[in-house]
């Protein structure tokens, strides 16, 4: 029980960091509301002159775009702001404290991520309910599509966690990760369909996306939600997600093991 | 001379971590793919937006993106004010024989700049190909002025918000949010938005002057403007005026600066 309580105390850190600062909290809410409103206006305007494009009608495209905006909030607050990333601790030397605590660095890192994700999920769930009530987002294409949306969204977030954790842990060797992080963030938006749904892109672009882990985080769940991917075809995508999870989990485990063995705090 | 030494030191500092330097260049390349992909989608999948042709929208994107690239190259330091204050480095800047603002701006070298400039060039080329506009010398000159105005306007917004970071580190979040907002919604004709939102983007967060208004004037999309045509035409000048005002605000805030060390 005390272990569970300890885990909960670690997990809630980022949420408390934001909740206890009304300015930051209000800013996050205003930002999300404005982004959703503008995205909704934008996609409605694009469909003014066409009934459907690339297999998506206006309702599907608007729902996809608004949900993609919510997805941005799903990963929780930016931990960089709170100064608790591996890079920041390596730079200041305080990474050594991660190795002195009665919890392994790997588990601490994972618990923080779970907490951030749960907090982000709460934001996304409340905002989704408001959007549904206001008619900004349509209902799932079917009950089955809704369930598969939930499953693939969960698997997609696990894939993304492993990717971002790998980038974070890589700082044990690279010391800085601004470049890699920027690439992963940009790629995870572009190749996941968060900027423009992947259905609008040319075939070659979709082919590249299908080889990368990013599309499973957003494109697949949202396409299931709006009915662009039929539930009967979902098995293939779930399998791809599972393969990515296994590959990335193994890579992360190896990376942590190597990091634990070679940690050097600046100054020796 | 001193300024040049600051620039070379910033470049050396960026190159020190070679892997990260390489990846930052790669970021610029991926961003190019993003923008070109966006252009491809717009041109091939939709006939336009809000009465604007894809070519005119692309020109708007190119102007805003060009301004953003230049602002990122010369004024990116405004985004670092929060960290510089927290680490007490502003104190050191105050002791050196160079204006603090210039030191803040020279403190950071924006690596993907060259890639970003290439994107802007590609966008201008695509837009010019799809637009039926006679590119007279004065139009080209106005276009250059519009890009510079967009740069100054973005620098003004970041400087204004960054000034708050001298006392409130959370201002950085607002800077990032504003940059995202400008990058996302500066690329579209704002007449697709309701009147209130349009007014906000003209009078509160003046995104409209970065691309929408100058390009509307240049391409003749002047029927649904939220301001008189002469105001739209004066967009580059308005960007410059706002930048001067932001510098004044920075000087005022810096005068009230208190070190984190007390």
If DSSP states are collapsed to H, E and C, what string results for B44-59? HHCCCECCECHHHHHH
Name the pLDDT band for A81 (thresholds 50, 70, 90): low
Residues of A with CB below 8 A from B31's CB? 186
Please compute the mean of the pLDDT values over residues B248-252 and round it to a whole number: 93
Q: Are B118 and B65 within 8 A, CB to CB?
A: no
pLDDT in tens, A182-199: 777 777 778 888 878 888
Q: Could you report the predicted ipTM of this complex, rounded to two decimals? A: 0.70
Percentage with pLDDT > 90 across chain B: 27
Q: Where are the domains of chain A?
A: 2-264
Q: What is the pLDDT of residue B262?
A: 55
Please compute the mean of the pLDDT values over residues A163-177 and round it to a whole number: 81
The answer to whether B170 faces chain A, any CB pair under 8 Å, is yes
Percentage with pLDDT > 70 across chain B: 90
Q: How far is CA B203 from CA A78, A137, A177, B249, in A?
A: 30, 30, 38, 18
Is the pLDDT higher at A87 or at A37?
A37
Is the pLDDT higher at B22 or at A163?
A163
- C-beta atoms of A42 and B188 within 8 A: yes
Q: What is the pLDDT of residue B118?
A: 76
Say whether pLDDT at B87 is over 90.
Answer: no
Q: Which of A28, A45, A200 sits opposite B50 (nearest CB)?
A: A45
The answer to whether B23 faces chain A, any CB pair under 8 Å, is yes
Say whether pLDDT at B244 is over 90.
Answer: yes
Name the pLDDT band for B35 (thresholds 50, 70, 90): low
- Return the residue in A33, A43, A44, A45 with the most chain B beta carbons within 10 A, the one to mutate for interface testing: A45
Q: What is the pLDDT of residue B7?
A: 72
Say whether pLDDT at A267 is over 60.
Answer: no
Say whether pLDDT at A247 is over 70.
Answer: yes
Window 159-178 of A: residues touching B by CB (8 A cutoff) are 174-178
Say whether pLDDT at A222 is over 80.
Answer: yes
Say whether pLDDT at B20 is over 90.
Answer: no
- C-beta atoms of A53 and B46 within 8 A: yes
Q: What is the pLDDT of residue B36?
A: 67
Say whether pLDDT at A22 is over 90.
Answer: no
Q: Are A255 and A169 within 8 A, CB to CB?
A: yes
Q: Which of A176-190, A213-227, B120-134, B163-177 has the highest mean pLDDT?
A: A213-227
Residues of B with CB below 8 A from A27's CB? 170, 173-174, 177
Q: Are A124 and A66 within 8 A, CB to CB?
A: no
Name the pLDDT band for A77 (thresholds 50, 70, 90): low
Distance to chain B for A7, nearest Cα, Å: 27
- C-beta atoms of B20 and A176 within 8 A: yes
Q: What is the dihedral of CA A25, A31, A33, A36, to 10 degrees?
A: -140
- C-beta atoms of B45 and A205 within 8 A: no
- C-beta atoms of A195 and B24 within 8 A: no
The answer to whether A19 faces chain B, any CB pair under 8 Å, is no
Say whether pLDDT at B39 is over 90.
Answer: no
- C-beta atoms of A41 and B49 within 8 A: no
**On the CB side of B30, how many CA atoms lie within 13 Å of its CA?**
19
Q: What is the pLDDT of residue B92?
A: 87
Kindly state the helix (H) or strand (E) to which residue A40 belongs, with its residue range.
helix A22-46
Q: What is the pLDDT of residue A127?
A: 93
Q: Are B248 and B241 within 8 A, CB to CB?
A: no
- C-beta atoms of A176 and B17 within 8 A: yes
The answer to whether B24 faces chain A, any CB pair under 8 Å, is yes
Say whether pLDDT at A100 is over 90.
Answer: no
């Amino acid at each position: 029980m005390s272990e569970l309580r300890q885990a909960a105390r670690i997990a809630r850190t980022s949420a408390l960091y934001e909740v206890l600062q009304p300015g930051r909290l209000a800013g996050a809410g205003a930002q999300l509301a404005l982004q959703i409103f503008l995205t909704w206006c934008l996609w409605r305007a694009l469909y003014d002159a066409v009934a459907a494009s690339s297999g998506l009608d206006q309702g599907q495209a608007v729902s996809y775009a608004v949900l993609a905006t919510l997805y941005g909030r799903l990963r929780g607050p930016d931990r960089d702001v709170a100064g608790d990333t591996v890079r920041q601790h390596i730079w200041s030397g305080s990474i050594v404290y991660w190795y002195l605590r009665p919890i392994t660095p790997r588990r601490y890192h994972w618990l923080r991520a779970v907490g951030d994700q749960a907090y982000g999920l709460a934001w996304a769930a409340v905002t989704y309910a408001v959007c549904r009530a206001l008619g900004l987002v349509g209902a799932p294409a079917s009950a089955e599509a809704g369930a598969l949306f939930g499953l693939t969204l969960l698997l997609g977030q696990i894939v993304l966690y492993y990717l971002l954790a790998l980038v974070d842990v890589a700082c044990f060797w690279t010391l800085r990760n601004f470049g890699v992080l920027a690439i992963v963030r940009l790629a995870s938006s572009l190749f996941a369909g968060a900027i423009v749904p992947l259905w609008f892109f040319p075939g070659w672009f979709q082919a590249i996306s299908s080889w990368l882990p990013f599309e499973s985080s957003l494109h697949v769940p949202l396409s299931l939600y709006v009915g662009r991917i039929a539930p009967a075809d979902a098995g293939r995508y779930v399998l791809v997600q599972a393969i990515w999870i296994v590959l990335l989990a193994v890579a992360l485990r190896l990376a942590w093991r190597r990091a634990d063995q070679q940690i050097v705090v600046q100054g020796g | 001379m001193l300024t040049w030494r600051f620039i070379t030191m910033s470049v050396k500092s960026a190159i020190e971590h070679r892997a990260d330097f390489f990846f930052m260049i790669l970021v610029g390349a991926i961003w190019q793919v993003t923008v070109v992909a966006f252009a491809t989608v717009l041109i091939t999948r939709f006939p336009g937006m809000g009465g604007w042709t894809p070519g005119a929208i692309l020109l708007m994107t190119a102007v805003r993106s060009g301004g953003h690239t230049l602002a990122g190259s010369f004024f990116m330091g405004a985004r670092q004010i929060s960290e510089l204050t927290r680490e007490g480095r502003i104190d050191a800047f105050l002791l050196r024989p160079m204006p603090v603002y210039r030191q803040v701006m020279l403190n950071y070298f924006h690596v993907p700049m060259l890639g970003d400039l290439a994107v802007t060039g590609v966008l201008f080329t695509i837009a010019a190909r799809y637009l039926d506009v006679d590119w007279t010398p004065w139009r080209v000159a106005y276009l250059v002025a519009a890009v510079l105005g967009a740069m100054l306007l973005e620098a003004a917004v970041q400087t204004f918000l960054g000034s708050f970071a001298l006392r409130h580190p959370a201002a950085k979040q607002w800077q990032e949010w504003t940059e995202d907002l400008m990058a996302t919604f500066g690329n579209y004709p704002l007449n697709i938005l309701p009147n209130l939102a349009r007014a906000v983007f003209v009078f509160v967060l003046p995104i409209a002057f970065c691309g929408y208004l100058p390009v509307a004037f240049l391409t003749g999309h002047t029927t649904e403007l939220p301001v008189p045509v002469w105001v739209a035409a004066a967009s580059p000048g308005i960007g410059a005026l706002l930048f001067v005002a932001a510098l004044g605000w920075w000087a005022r805030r810096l005068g009230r600066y208190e070190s984190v060390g007390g």
